[in-house]
Amino acid sequence: MYQLNEKIRNLKPYDPISGEYAIRLDANESFFGLPEDLRTEFSHIASELVLNRYPDPLSTQVCQAFADYYQVPVENVTAGNGSDELISIICTSFLEKGDTFLTLEPDFSMYRFYGVIAEGVPVTMQKPESLCVDVDEVIRVCREKDVKLLIFSNPCNPTSLGLCREELRRLITSVEALVVLDEAYMDFWNQSLLPEFDQYDNLLILRTCSKAFGGAALRLGFAVGSLALTNALKAVKSPYNLNSFTQAAGAAILRRKEESQAAIKEILQSKEELLAGMKELAGRFSQQIKVFESNTNFVFVETPAYEQIFRYLLDAGIAVRKFTGYLRITAGTHEENQALLKAMEGFFVAENQEGK
Ligand SMILES: *Cc1c(COP(=O)(O)O)cnc(C)c1O
């Protein structure tokens, strides 16, 4: 009888919200579809693909488009099948069995998952009530626990809060660990360390096309770091990790910098609208909901009624992301935001009447 080993025995496949919901505000995707002319370019790309040959193992063209967009040298860029693949590769290759790795909770759940699969030993730092990260504490724990890899998102998914550059510099230069700085949402904020990545020999920065660029289904992410780190990453990744279509289509998206930046501006306006509406609700129902500041395309709220609100919204055809004690809501179109806010208001009004 074949026995699954212990580390995978009880795992379940990743199951985001399944079912059909008219309004999807649960996965931090862009609400923009692709513009018509980009679709036309994609059809052209698809018709020209040489599918009987392996793709470019180093994804040169799309790495160059990324390098041009962010003004970094192409030699320091590695492309991955989503940044998820890069996180997985980094954990399995930069960690040795038994090495400690540090995550800050709450944060993106895949860090801990991949670290444990890699047989690293997880150390978790719980964020305080404010959900702000105490950099001195992180440094202290890194030293005390001999942490080999520190990984976190900045700005953070799900809290939407972030550390500014000055704090990041202090953190990176004060620890021996490899620091994996996941900037999946940094297109919505202005504290990126990309312009100075080459000043650190223990820093890998991750970016993705899944959020700001509206390319979640393409599966395209990037890592930027020193030549030593980049060369190691390129050597350990699977040779043909990015298919030809993603390479060409990703390059096409990244070459349209003005369009992307216009879309990002609109997404941020939508986020401001959602945030303002949520703060207005929090003012009226202050016992039931608290809203955090946002540096991303989503809004994070604390509420004891997270379970009931989550269900109530699903019944109204609106999917958001639920955490114990919190809800994370992605900015949608104006209509989607209004529908969400109206439903939340409906919930609180009904709740308060019942309580009387
Ligand atoms: C969405 C997300 C990713 C995953 O990006 P992919 O490129 O789609 O794999 C990585 N990190 C964080 C923090 C995210 O929220």
pLDDT tens digits, 205-257: 999 999 999 999 999 999 999 999 999 999 999 999 999 999 999 999 999 99
Q: Is residue 266 scored above 70 in pLDDT?
A: yes
pLDDT of res. 265:
98
| Residues 62, 69, 266, 133, Cα dihedral to 10° | 100
**Residues 130, 44: Cα–Cα separation, whole Å:** 50
CA-to-CA separations, 181 to 136, 160, 244, in angstroms, rounded: 17, 15, 27
Q: Is residue 174 scored above 70 in pLDDT?
A: yes
**pLDDT-derived band of residue 159, with 50, 70 and 90 as boundaries?**
very high
Residue of 26, 78, 84, 85 to mutate, ligand 1, most atoms within 8 A of C-beta: 84
Contacts 24+ apart (CB under 8 A), 312-318: 312/343, 312/346, 312/347, 313/340, 313/343, 313/344, 313/347, 314/19, 314/21, 316/343, 317/21, 317/22, 317/23, 318/21, 318/22, 318/23, 318/25, 318/343
Q: Which atom of ligand 1 is nearest to the CA of 211?
A: 1
pLDDT of res. 17:
79
pLDDT of res. 308:
98
Tell me what percent of the residues of the chain surpass a pLDDT of 90.
95
Report strand pairing: 290-291 vs 23-24.
unpaired
pLDDT tens digits, 178-212: 999 999 999 999 999 999 999 999 999 999 999 99
pLDDT tens digits, 127-143: 999 999 999 999 999 99
- C-alpha atoms less than 13 angstroms from C-alpha of 339 in its C-beta half-sphere: 21
Distance 29 CA to ligand 1 centre (A): 10
Pocket residues for ligand 1 (CB within 6 Å)? 28, 82-84, 108, 153, 157, 182, 184, 208, 210-211, 216, 221
Distance 285 CA to ligand 1 centre (A): 32
Burial of 93 (C-beta count, 10 Å sphere; 0-12/13-18/19+) = middle
Distance 354 CA to ligand 1 centre (A): 40
**Residues 321, 157: Cα–Cα separation, whole Å:** 11
| Average pLDDT of the residues in 93-101 | 98
Q: Is residue 16 scored above 80 in pLDDT?
A: no
pLDDT of res. 356:
57
Helix or strand run (H / E) with residue 141: helix 135-144
Tell me what percent of the residues of the chain surpass a pLDDT of 70.
99
Residue of 188, 211, 300 to mutate, ligand 1, most atoms within 8 A of C-beta: 211
**pLDDT-derived band of residue 355, with 50, 70 and 90 as boundaries?**
low
**pLDDT-derived band of residue 34, with 50, 70 and 90 as boundaries?**
confident
**Average pLDDT over all residues of the chain:** 97
Q: Is residue 353 scored above 90 in pLDDT?
A: no
Count other Cβ atoms within 10 Å, centred on residue 258: 7
pLDDT tens digits, 40-61: 999 999 999 999 999 999 999 9
| Average pLDDT of the residues in 291-295 | 98
Distance 80 CA to ligand 1 centre (A): 11
Distance 3 CA to ligand 1 centre (A): 32
Q: Tell if the pTM clears 0.95, that is, is over it.
A: yes
